[in-house]
């Protein structure tokens, strides 16, 4: 397993870095937040991402994608995260694209995948129902009625759920709460009768929603994958999502660290640059080491996904744990080293702390994945 980027992957990473720096600096994110943009991402910026082919990176060439792999989309998310670039790329280009590519039937692939590539639609994956990530505890029901299913229940904290055109929803078709069997995935339009979407105001000012389903009628062609196999299916989708989110969190940590280093080299106290204080140097060195370790774990997880390794599940949890703990550490230290100004809205560094606290919980916290890693390892 090579833990270095290929020439093509490095080119993609450099392209993403230039795009983020030039087209979506942190000031762009700040502007969307200050203007209370309903989507919290810019349509023009998204259109440029579409022209670059980013939503189609995990999609086969026969449907207009490039099939460039998880490493390809991961390095893009990593670079865009450095400027907190808001877009539906994670929810659509990772979660939606992977779910439909891997588990959709021929009609679903032909219908949805070209539209994802062209930017015609965006998607959202609706999984969680409580503040603690645990797909097996799904209560939402999908009851069979002749050739239809009737959905009832709710989903919370749906990433990009406030703007998505298409929803991929986990529901229980049999069994009891806590049972990983009896779960099925469905794909449907977000404007289907009986669906109510409520936009969430989260600390990191990104696009999330709570979605309720009241007697939502869909036909059996909306089933994504086989009936009652979603216990395993959704974990496969989530593992790819966790790896991609880990890459994004790594980018957040790298940028927060770089901003803090620059501040240490400029801020004077008692007539000396605070970067010359040995205690702060030690703390900066610790952050650097943790970021380097996280880079290795994220790269290993991306490679495992692209190589369909048997270690995929463990490395997915490892990368999410490492990225969560590192971003938590770096965002805390960044605020501490900036002093009081770090928590003021005038400085950008506070955005990374807010982003960290939300991202840590997406698809399982560090505690959740430490336990999962141990269980997968036989402990």
Q: Which CATH entry fits the domain spanning 231-376: 1.10.10.10, 3.40.1010.10, 2.40.30.30, 1.20.140.10?
A: 1.20.140.10
Residue with tokens 């240490």: 264
87 touches 137 (CB < 8 A): no
Q: What percent of the chain has pLDDT over 70?
A: 100
Q: Which of 114, 90, 105 is nearest to 185 (CA)?
A: 105
Rounded to whole angstroms, the Cα distance separating 9 from 70 reads: 11
> What is the tens place of the pLDDT at every residue in 103-159?
999 999 999 999 999 999 999 999 999 989 999 999 999 999 999 999 999 999 999
Residue 3: predicted pLDDT: 77
Output the CATH code of domain 125-228.
2.40.110.10
Residue 270: predicted pLDDT: 84
DSSP state of 93: I
Residues with Cβ < 8 Å from 172, sequence gap 6 or more? Answer: 138, 139, 140, 141, 142, 182, 183, 184
3-state secondary structure of 310: coil
Q: Measured in whole angstroms, how far is the alpha carbon of residue 208 from the centre of its chain? A: 12
Residue 55: predicted pLDDT: 98
243 touches 298 (CB < 8 A): yes
CA torsion 14-18-20-26 (nearest 10°) is 120
DSSP state of 53: T
CA geometry: angle 102, 89, 98, nearest 5 deg: 5
Rounded to whole angstroms, the Cα distance separating 7 from 305 reads: 19
- The domain locations on the chain are 7-121, 125-228, 231-376
Work out the pLDDT band at 268, boundaries 50, 70, 90: confident
Can you identify the CATH homologous superfamily of domain 7-121?
Acyl-CoA dehydrogenase/oxidase, N-terminal domain (1.10.540.10)
Longest dimension (CA), the chain: 79
- Identify any residues that bridge with 216 across adjacent strands, giving them in sequence order: 151
Q: Do 7-121 and 231-376 fold alike per CATH?
A: no
User: Is this structure's pTM higher than 0.75?
Assistant: yes
- Kind of pairing, strands 195-200 and 123-126? unpaired
Q: Which of 269, 268, 274 is nearest to 333 (CA)?
A: 274
Count Cβ atoms below 10 Å from residue 113 Cβ, excluding itself: 25
Tell me the pLDDT of the chain averaged across its residues. 96
- Judge whether residue 56 has pLDDT over 90: yes
């Amino acid at each position: 397993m090579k833990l270095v980027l290929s020439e093509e992957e490095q080119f993609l990473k450099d392209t993403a870095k230039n795009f983020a720096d030039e087209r979506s600096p942190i000031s762009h994110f700040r502007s969307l937040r200050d203007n209370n943009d309903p989507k919290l991402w810019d349509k023009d910026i998204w259109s440029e991402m579409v022209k670059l082919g980013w939503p189609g990176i995990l999609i086969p060439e026969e449907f207009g994608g490039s099939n460039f792999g998880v490493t390809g989309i991961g390095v893009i998310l990593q670079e865009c995260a450095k400027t907190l670039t808001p877009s539906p790329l994670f929810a659509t280009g990772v979660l939606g694209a992977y779910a439909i590519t891997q588990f959709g039937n021929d009609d679903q692939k032909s219908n949805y995948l070209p539209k994802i590539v062209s930017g015609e639609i965006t998607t959202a994956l609706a999984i969680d129902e409580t503040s603690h990530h645990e797909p097996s505890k799904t209560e939402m029901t999908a009851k069979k009625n002749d050739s239809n299913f009737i959905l009832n229940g709710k989903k919370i904290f749906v990433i990009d759920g406030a703007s998505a055109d298409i929803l991929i929803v986990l529901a229980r078709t049999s069994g009891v709460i806590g049972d990983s069997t009896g779960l099925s995935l469905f794909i449907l339009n977000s404007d289907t009768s009986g669906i109510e979407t409520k936009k969430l105001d989260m600390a990191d000012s990104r696009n999330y929603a709570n979605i309720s389903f009241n007697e939502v009628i869909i036909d059996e062609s909306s089933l994504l994958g086989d009936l009652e196999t979603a216990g395993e299916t959704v974990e496969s989708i989530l593992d790819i999502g966790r790896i991609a989110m880990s890459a994004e969190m790594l980018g957040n940590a790298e940028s927060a660290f770089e901003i803090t280093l620059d501040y240490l080299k400029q801020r004077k106290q008692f007539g000396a640059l605070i970067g010359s204080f040995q205690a702060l140097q030690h703390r900066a060195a610790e952050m650097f080491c943790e970021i380097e370790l996280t880079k290795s774990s994220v790269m290993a997880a991306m490679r495992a996904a692209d190589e369909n390794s048997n270690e995929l599940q463990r490395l997915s949890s490892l990368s999410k744990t490492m990225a969560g703990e590192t971003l938590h550490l770096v965002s805390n230290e960044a605020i501490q080293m900036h002093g009081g100004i770090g928590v003021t809205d005038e400085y950008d560094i506070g955005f990374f702390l807010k982003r960290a606290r939300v991202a840590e919980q997406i698809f399982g916290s560090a505690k959740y994945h430490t336990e999962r890693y141990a269980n997968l390892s036989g402990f």
